[in-house]
């Protein structure tokens, strides 16, 4: 703790907002480092007892699972902004109502989805969906059943992470997530040790552990530190649900667009190429994502703190903070370029020569993360201040154009697998430029019309 205090003095972090952000970033950096290490160790561990085809199917399944997270209609992000504002105004009663209403709403939404899934699941040919070999049919059906059923439960329980982010406790939120990753790793190790080499067992480990951890953390925090925000049936208010949905639906559509743009990559590859190509693509994707993960550590606490600063009309703090974020981004670009230069050697070490990644894919993936992280600076600001209407329109346009553009690059121009990130670079690059222009207008108090919505 002395080291942290000394660093705040050296960096001249004088105001409360910046100190809070720095404290979260400081601790999140070490926590995320552990998370990244565990994730990197997890890949060779899973590849040691699953074939590349099985692993490719699993990656495609996890991409599809991410689709379901957006059925919350943006209520999670709506809660994040509303709870931050309520706490800033010291209106704890409203905060408890927003928390209770969000938990109640998501319990209904995902409860209905669970029932529908259990009814429909027996009639779905999952081998056709995943382009998997017929021999994997039984194992794949069990894996899908475990993963999706428990995922619906997880989405309600993981609201505790949203509450922590709204309360500027992003480091604690990261700690909870890293505990999940560590326990998953040990669970996977036990599968290897006892020779349980099936997708169903992998799905069970990835699905049960988060539910268990989020449940225990929620019960503990809502019984102690955040007892004043503990959800209860008596505090569920339909009128507050409307307020959450007003901003939440905008987030929902943006999330759906992001889903189509980012999470559909594995599905497109499995359909146009093979499941093993999904593995190759994801090795490059995860390799270059390291810098992005660390950049997200810095960005995450700024969302809720920007909400607080904007509510207090502290635009000077926002401007100074954004300049610092630009510097961090420039440093990230240097890191990504260095990663590119040494990528071939590190791929070989990381995968034990099991996976070869083309240089062209590495170059495009490097550029992909340079563009994505630049745009995330402005989308994070806009999300924090709740000015997301223009972002919504361009996200929708990007969603519509991304897949056809990717298919055109693959089939017409014969770019192969790199056509997918190339399409994303183009559509998100344009949207990011618009977000930058909107940011400039808002902080200079010149935003009018659609630019201020």
Per residue in 165-188, pLDDT (tens digit) is: 888 888 888 899 999 999 999 999
Q: What is the pLDDT of residues 114-168, one digit of tens each?
A: 999 999 999 999 888 888 888 888 888 999 999 999 989 998 999 999 999 888 8
The predicted pLDDT at position 11 comes to 43
The predicted pLDDT at position 212 comes to 95
Separation of alpha carbons 394 and 4, rounded Å: 41
Q: Which residues contact 429 (CB under 8 A, 6 or more apart)?
A: 371, 375
Q: Look at 325 and 89; give whichever has higher pLDDT.
A: 325
- Report phi then psi at 90, rounded to 5: 60, 30
Separation of alpha carbons 436 and 322, rounded Å: 11
Percent of the chain residues past pLDDT 70, beyond the cut: 93
Q: Residue 9 above 70 pLDDT?
A: no
Q: Per-domain residue ranges for the chain?
A: 2-452
Give CA 312 to chain center in angstroms: 28
Q: What is the pLDDT of residues 381-435, one digit of tens each?
A: 998 888 888 888 998 888 889 889 998 999 898 888 899 989 999 999 999 999 9
Q: What is the pLDDT of residues 369-382, one digit of tens each?
A: 999 999 999 999 99
CA-to-CA separations, 33 to 144, 174, 359, 422, in angstroms, rounded: 30, 10, 26, 29
The predicted pLDDT at position 326 comes to 92
Q: Which residues contact 142 (CB under 8 A, 6 or more apart)?
A: 198, 199, 200, 203
Q: What is the pLDDT of residues 54-69, one digit of tens each?
A: 888 888 888 777 766 6
Q: What mean pLDDT is reported for the chain?
A: 85
**Angle CA(119)–CA(123)–CA(128) in degrees, nearest 5?**
135
- What's this model's pTM, rounded to 2 decimal places? 0.72
């Amino acid at each position: 703790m002395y080291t942290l205090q000394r660093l705040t003095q050296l960096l001249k972090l004088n105001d409360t907002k910046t100190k809070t952000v720095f404290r979260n970033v400081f601790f999140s950096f070490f926590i995320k480092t552990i998370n990244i290490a565990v994730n990197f160790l997890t890949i060779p561990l899973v590849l040691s007892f699953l074939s590349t085809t099985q692993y490719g199917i699993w990656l495609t399944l996890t991409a599809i699972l991410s689709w379901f997270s957006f059925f919350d209609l943006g209520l999670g992000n709506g809660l994040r902004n509303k709870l931050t504002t309520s706490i800033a105004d010291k209106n704890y009663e409203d905060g408890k109502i927003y928390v209770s209403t969000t938990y109640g709403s998501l319990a209904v939404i995902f409860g209905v989805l669970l029932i529908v899934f259990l009814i429909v699941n027996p009639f779905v040919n999952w081998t056709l969906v995943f382009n998997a070999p017929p021999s994997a049919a039984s194992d794949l059906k069990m894996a899908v059943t475990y993963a999706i059923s428990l995922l619906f439960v997880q989405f309600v329980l993981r609201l505790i992470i949203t509450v922590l982010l709204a309360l500027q406790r992003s480091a604690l939120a990261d700690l909870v997530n890293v505990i999940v990753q560590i326990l998953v790793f040990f669970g996977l190790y036990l599968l290897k040790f006892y020779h349980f080499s099936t997708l169903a067992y992998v799905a069970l480990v990835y699905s049960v552990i988060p539910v268990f951890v989020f449940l225990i953390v929620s019960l503990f925090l809502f019984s102690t530190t955040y007892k004043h925000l503990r959800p209860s049936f008596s505090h569920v208010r339909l009128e507050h649900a409307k307020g959450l949905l007003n901003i939440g639906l905008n987030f929902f559509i943006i999330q759906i667009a992001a889903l189509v743009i980012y999470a559909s990559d594995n599905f497109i590859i499995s359909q146009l190429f093979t499941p093993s190509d999904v593995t190759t693509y994801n090795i490059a994707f995860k390799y270059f994502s390291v810098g992005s993960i660390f950049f997200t550590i810095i960005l995450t606490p700024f969302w809720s703190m920007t909400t607080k600063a904007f509510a207090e009309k502290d635009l000077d703090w926002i401007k100074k903070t954004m300049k610092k974020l630009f510097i961090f981004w420039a440093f990230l670009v240097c890191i990504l370029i260095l990663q590119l230069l040494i990528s071939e050697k590190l791929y070989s070490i990381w995968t034990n020569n099991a996976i070869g990644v083309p240089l062209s894919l590495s170059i495009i993936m490097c550029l992909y993360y340079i563009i994505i992280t630049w745009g995330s600076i402005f989308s994070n600001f806009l999300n924090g201040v709740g000015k997301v209407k223009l972002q919504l329109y361009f996200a929708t346009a990007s969603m519509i154009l991304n897949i056809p553009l990717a298919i055109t690059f693959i089939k017409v121009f014969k770019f192969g697998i790199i056509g997918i990130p190339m399409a994303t670079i183009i559509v998100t690059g344009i949207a990011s430029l618009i977000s930058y222009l909107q940011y400039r207008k808002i902080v200079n108090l010149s935003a009018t019309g659609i630019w201020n919505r």
